[in-house]
Amino acid sequence: MTTINANTKISNILKQSPEALEAIISISSKFNKLRNPLLRKLIASRTSIATASGIGGCSVNDFFEKLKPLGFEIDDNVVAETKTSVPRPQFMENLKEENIVELDVRPILDGGKDPFQLILNTVNDLKSSQVLKLVNSFEPTPLIQILEKKGFKTYSETMSDYLVYTYFYNTEAIKMAEPIVKNNKEDWNHILENYKNNIVYVDVRELEAPLPMLTILEELDRINPEKLLFVYHKRIPVFLLPELQERKFDYLINEISDNEVHLLIFKK
C-alpha cells in the first residue's frame, strides 16, 4: 500500500482507497464538504494532509490514525511544508469600507453547492479600486493558488476556528484581464498535421464551471502524452492556462466566434 506523509495530497489517498473518504470525513465535520463530487475534485488535488489538518482544526496524526487501518504506510519523519507568514498589507490600514466587496460563501458550501463560479464572477466584476473580502470557514487554498497565478495577491485573517477572511487584490488592476491570444493559422495547421493520427476530442461547451476545467485536466491525466487534446470550448479558459503551463503543456487557441473557442493542448 502507498506510503503517506504530511505532504501527501488528499486526492492521492482517495485514489488508493475508496474507504479513505469516509475515514477522512469522520475526523472533522468540516470535511463533510468532500461528499460533494465537485468540491472534492477541486480541493483534493491541491490539499495536503497538513493543509487539511489546518482546515479541519485537527492534527496530522489524526489523519494517520484513521488511514493506517486502511493499509497505508505512515512516514512521520517528513516535515510538513509550511506557508510563509504574510504581514498584513499596509494599504489595508486605510482601506475604505466602500471599496470592499464582501462575499460570504459559507451558506453555499453548507448547502452542498460549489461557490467557485460565483467567486470568479465577483472577481471579474471588481472595479480597479475594489478588494474582494471572501468570508469562509477555512482558508481557501485552491482558490488562492488559482487567483495568484492570475496576478492577484492575497491576505488571510483567521478570526476564529470557523471564521476566516481572505482578501484578494491586484496592485496593477483588480479587474482580471483576458489573455491576449494571437491566432496563428500556420502554427495551428502545423500542430494538427503533426498529430493527425493521435488526436483526442473533448467538448465542454455545455458544462457549467468548474466542470470544463476539471474535465480537461482529467482527460489530460488519462490520455497518452504523445496524443493531442482538441477541446471545444465556449470561451478562453483563463484559469486553465496557468495550470497547463505548470503541468508543462503547450497550447494553441483559436477564437472562432464570441461563443466558440477551440484549443489544442499537447506536451512540451
Read off the pLDDT of residues 153-165 as tens digits, 9 standing for 90 and up: 888 888 876 688 9
Q: State if pTM tops 0.85.
A: no
With cell 482529467, the residue in question is: 218
Nearest to residue 23, comparing CAs of 56, 177, 183? 56
| Alpha helices for the chain (secondary structure H) | 10-16, 20-25, 37-44, 49-56, 60-67, 106-110, 116-124, 141-149, 185-194, 211-222, 240-246
Q: Which three cell numbers stand for residue 191?
A: 500542430
Average per-residue pLDDT in the chain?
83
Nearest to residue 169, comparing CAs of 131, 141, 142? 131
CB 212 within 8 A of CB 204: yes
| Residue 178 pLDDT grade (very low, low, confident, very high; cuts 50, 70, 90) | very low
User: How many other CB atoms are found less than 10 A from the CB of residue 229?
Assistant: 21
The residue-averaged pLDDT of 210-228 equals 91
